[in-house]
Chains A and B, each alone.
Chain A
């Protein structure tokens, strides 16, 4: 069973940059697509962006100018950076693996494995 674990600060000041890392066990970063998703308290899920097995990325247009997803500092890690944080960015941040590959396009279509999530609060 694949395991994902988010790590990073639980508190970020307004205007600062959030950096989170997802550590993956029992699956290779280079074999799948990986994503970040967030959930503000009491609200629904929002896709942030993804990184493919070969390093290609795509981001939610609503966050595009502020977000970067990349390989992590260590093996089998990937990271999220979100700049210019505001109170509206307070949320639980999940990392997830993309699966359910479409037979026609070859692209993944669902999030089949999730980390437990980490709460990030933006406050001075």
Chain B
């Protein structure tokens, strides 16, 4: 049971837009700490996709964005491409745990 809750799967057709939600609580997502998002392809390590609620590392296209409101955060991917198929994880610091927590992951099918 993950501390942060994500839908197990989402899907969309090429060119469409999808949203992946991440719900937490007052000690993590709602707190002043940022939410980050990772992409993981099969057999590889997670890769930082969005940091600090809505900042993209170099190389991540601007059709990928994120937001946070209250105890929820969302990752939005527009103009879906076949290459977007992967697992996506949200992550935040948890003040109750004094450590870092992840969502259970969402499998995106294009």
Contacts and interface: CB of A to CB of B under 8 A. Distances in A.
Contacts of A47: 99-102
Interface string A45-59: 111011000000011
Given A45-B102, A47-B99, A117 B34 contact: no
A17 to B, nearest CB: 22
A104 interface: yes
B89 A45 contact: yes
B36 interface: yes
A101 to B, nearest CB: 10
B91 A60 contact: no
> Does more than half of chain A's interface fall in helix, strand or loop, or is it mixed?
strand
A115 interface: yes
Interface residues of A, number: 25
Contact of B102 (A46, A100, A104): A46
Contacts of A44: 2, 89, 102-105
Nearest to A92: B45
A110 B33 CA distance: 10
Interface centre among A61, A99, A109, A110 (most CB of B within 10 A): A110
A115 B34 contact: no
Given A44-B2, A44-B105, A100-B34, A111 B99 contact: no
Interface of A: 35, 44-47, 49-50, 58-61, 94, 99-100, 102, 104, 107, 109-112, 114-117
